[in-house]
Homo-oligomer: A and B are copies of this chain.
């Protein structure tokens, strides 16, 4: 879709190309995602609340998933990490998952990830991020690690508990010496925890 088409589409609503329009869409998206969850929220409903055409929403933000990531200020799609590790041998997933997450945190985008995480912890987007993590990201781990059946959700949230705490202590609070370890050292120390949560006994 060209920006000319977007202009036409938006004619019945607010002025096209107006930065306020994007912000209206993002606000509507936050409301809708928070109210009904990621899966059950439609782009159509978001567009309706923002007073624009669905096509304009797609034009500005792409997919519903991309709109969500923009709405919660998430600079990197967690899917990029998960996709790379979910097909690995089961006994290597703990280390691979941890290494993938650390790779993002250590990358040039890491600062933005930290800022988004900090905002999620302290601000009003907590419900949104939690919802997205649970519905979209953790669900994929759940399907892969569900032995015995039904244990998947617990395993996924246990993994989340270790990863979020690592983010906080190493990158936010910068506690030493964990803040100065190499990625390999972190993986050697914390990888077994992630692996145990994914494949170990869970009672």
> A65 on the interface (CB 8 Å rule)?
no
Q: For window 158-187 of chain A, which residues contact chain B by CB distance below 8 Å?
A: 158, 160-170, 172-179, 181, 185
Is there an interface contact between A168 and B121, defined as CB atoms closer than 8 Å? yes
Complex-state Cα separation, A161 to B175, whole angstroms: 9
- Chain A residues engaging chain B, CB cutoff 8 angstroms: 118-123, 126, 129-130, 133-134, 138, 153-154, 157-158, 160-170, 172-179, 181, 185, 188-190, 192-193, 196-197, 202-203
Is there an interface contact between A157 and B169, defined as CB atoms closer than 8 Å? yes
| Cβ distance A181 to chain B, nearest Cβ, rounded Å | 8
9 other A-B residue contacts (CB within 8 Å) besides A130-B173, A130-B175: A118-B121, A133-B173, A157-B175, A157-B176, A157-B179, A158-B190, A161-B162, A162-B162, A189-B203
Is there an interface contact between B177 and A160, defined as CB atoms closer than 8 Å? no
Chain B residues near A202 (CB, 8 Å)? Answer: 189
